[in-house]
């Protein structure tokens, strides 16, 4: 037990222990000699531990350092990076962020720069707009160039020599090369991460992005969306005055042709032109709002999710930088908060729903609201009740509340979302619950309790799930349908919602 303690004890404690044992072991007998021999080995180990490590020892030690032994500045850098990523990045960008952060720390460890690097001013490409994944100390040394060769410590020279040899952490070097290649392929996505300041209708806030700002010269109203794999060319990018005309043009064409594939391709192209020119203003919000609405009209939750994630941040910055918005909503902000909440109910993201509810209770209740906003606000409060009914499986209350939504004609899009993505599955669950309590139940009761508009809609619902054979002229055979309903409930497709929100 003492041996184990001495092996991990600090040097000062080990020294005190050795003095005590030296006074006791003076007889020189075999047992004492054996104990003394073991003790000397432990003493030499403690002495070695108390000596300052050589260059190679220091590198090996730091390569295996646990996170708890890292410098406080590195801990602070990691925490700040994650905080900024949660505020700025979309879910699609976060894997790239995690990859860059991991590679940066691995690079610092492999080059023995964990303690030497200045983490307080370290930059990460996806957060700061830099093009290369580079340690701050490497950048500084590159700038100092010639005069450093005579003043570098031996340890640094040794590390530099090891860098030139092909045996230094080939895996890490290979990963770094992979990142360089990936960064060139993902420059477009990296440009989306920069801050999105907004001010008035046409004047953007100053941006902290280091990527170049330019004004496009393309005059085409229509342009196919192509993912950027290199720096944008101004001749292929449309300026804002052309984009304003383009939005009106593609919307008119969409209403005439009703081609969602066409209009979503054009919206992506417009958003790309806004992004590469750093146009972050009210027009940007307008474009994302239109794109989101068109996507909802076509039940495209994945595309809507991309727009609403960006809108959430745009609204936040708009309010942050305009004192007049501290106690009121901006334009369609409340309407899109309703759509966002419906999306979270669809995807079972209950934690996000409670965050929205907390924000409503703490701030939005006191906001000034016009008559239209009062209706949207009541719609939002009813959504919280709807979510609570789903969690408690209170289907009677759920469908009573749903019937109220159907009467709000000015909120037709929100009602359609609930009907298309929430109500149908809830009807299956409610009918399954009923089948476990009743052998038969009147068709009229089911139509009333599950908020069907008429008998025809009820029949279409049963046919969709192959339950039509259990519907009689008067009653529904709950006992016979129970097994089929159980099978539907337990299928993976019935429960599954993927990360992009597609059902």
* Residue pLDDT, tens place only, 218-236: 999 999 999 888 888 999 9
Mean pLDDT on 469-483: 94
The per-residue pLDDT for 211 is 59
- How much is the average pLDDT of 63-83? 75
Q: What is the mean pLDDT of residues 447-456?
A: 94
Q: Are 81 and 124 in contact (CB under 8 A)?
A: yes
495 against 335, higher pLDDT: 335
Strand partners, 142: none
Q: What is the pLDDT of residues 382-411, one digit of tens each?
A: 999 999 999 999 999 999 999 988 887 788
Structural domains in the chain? 2-51 (no CATH), 67-191 (no CATH), 198-299 (no CATH), 300-495 (1.25.40.990)
Backbone CA torsion sign across 427, 432, 434, 435:
positive
In contact, 269 and 242? CB cutoff 8 Å: no
Question: DSSP code of 485?
Answer: H
Assess whether pLDDT exceeds 70 at residue 11: no
HSE toward the beta carbon, residue 211, CA cutoff 13 A: 24
pLDDT at res. 212 = 64
State the pLDDT confidence band at 254, using cuts at 50, 70 and 90. Answer: very high
Q: What is the pLDDT of the chain when averaged over all its residues?
A: 78
Burial of 11 (0-12, 13-18, 19+ CB in 10 A): exposed
Q: What is the pLDDT of residue 140?
A: 82
Q: Are 211 and 132 in contact (CB under 8 A)?
A: no
| H or E segment and range at residue 73 | helix 72-88
At residue 418 the predicted structure's pLDDT band, cuts being 50, 70 and 90, is: very high
Assess whether pLDDT exceeds 70 at residue 57: no
Eight-state DSSP code of residue 258 = -
Residue 62 pLDDT > 50: no
Residue 422 has pLDDT above 60, yes or no: yes
How much is the pTM? 0.59
The closest of 124, 125, 128 to 186, measured between CA atoms, is 125
Task: For 284-314, write each residue's pLDDT tens digit.
Answer: 999 999 999 999 999 999 999 999 999 998 8
Q: Kind and range of the H or E element at 424?
A: helix 424-435
Phi-psi map region of 331: left, alpha, beta (phi>0 left; psi -120 to 50 alpha):
left
The H or E element that residue 442 is part of is strand 440-442
């Amino acid at each position: 037990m003492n041996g184990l303690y001495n092996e991990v004890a600090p040097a000062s404690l080990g020294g005190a222990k050795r003095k005590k044992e030296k006074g006791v072991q003076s007889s020189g007998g075999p047992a004492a000699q054996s104990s003394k021999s073991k003790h000397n080995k432990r003493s030499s180990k403690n002495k070695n531990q108390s000596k300052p490590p050589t260059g190679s020892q220091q590198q090996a030690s730091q390569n295996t350092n646990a996170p708890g032994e890292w410098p406080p500045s590195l801990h602070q850098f990691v925490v700040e990076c994650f905080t900024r990523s949660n505020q700025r990045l979309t879910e699609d960008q976060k894997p790239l962020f995690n990859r860059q952060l991991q590679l940066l720390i691995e690079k610092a460890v492999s080059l023995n720069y964990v303690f030497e690097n200045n983490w307080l001013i370290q930059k990460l490409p996806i957060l700061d707009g830099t093009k290369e994944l580079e340690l701050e100390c490497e950048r500084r040394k590159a700038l100092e160039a010639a005069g450093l060769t005579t003043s570098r410590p031996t340890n640094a020279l040794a590390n530099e020599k090891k860098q030139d040899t092909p045996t230094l952490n080939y895996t890490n070097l290979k990963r770094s090369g992979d990142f360089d290649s990936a960064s060139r392929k993902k420059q477009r996505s990296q440009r989306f991460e920069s801050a999105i300041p907004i001010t008035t209708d046409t004047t953007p806030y100053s941006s902290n992005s280091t990527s170049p700002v330019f004004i496009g010269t393309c005059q085409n109203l229509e342009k196919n969306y192509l993912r950027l794999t290199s720096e944008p060319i101004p001749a292929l990018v449309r300026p804002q005055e052309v984009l304003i005309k383009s939005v009106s043009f593609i919307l008119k064409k969409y209403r005439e042709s009703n081609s969602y594939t066409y209009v979503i391709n054009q919206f992506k192209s417009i958003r790309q032109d806004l992004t590469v020119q750093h146009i972050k203003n009210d027009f940007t919000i307008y474009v994302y709002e239109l794109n989101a609405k068109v996507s909802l009209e076509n039940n495209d939750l994945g595309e809507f999710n991309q727009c609403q994630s960006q809108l959430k941040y745009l609204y936040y910055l708009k309010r942050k930088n305009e004192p007049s918005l501290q106690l009121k909503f901006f334009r369609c902000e409340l309407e899109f908060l309703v759509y966002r909440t419906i999306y979270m109910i669809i995807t079972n993201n209950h934690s996000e729903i409670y965050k929205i509810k907390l924000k409503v209770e703490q701030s939005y209740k006191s906001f000034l609201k016009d008559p239209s906003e009062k209706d949207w606000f009541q719609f939002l409060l009813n959504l919280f009740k709807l979510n609570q009914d789903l969690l408690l499986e209170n289907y009677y209350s759920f469908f009573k509340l749903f019937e109220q939504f159907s009467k709000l004609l000015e909120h037709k899009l929100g009602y359609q979302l609930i009907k298309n993505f929430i109500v149908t599955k809830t009807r299956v669950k409610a009918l399954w619950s009923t089948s476990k309590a009743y052998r038969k139940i009147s068709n009229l009761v089911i139509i009333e309790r599950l908020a069907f508009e008429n008998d025809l809609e009820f029949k279409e619902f049963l046919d969709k799930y192959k339950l039509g054979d259990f519907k009689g002229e008067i009653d529904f055979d709950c006992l016979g349908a129970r097994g089929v309903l159980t099978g539907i409930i337990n299928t993976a497709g019935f429960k599954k919602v993927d990360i992009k929100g597609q059902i």
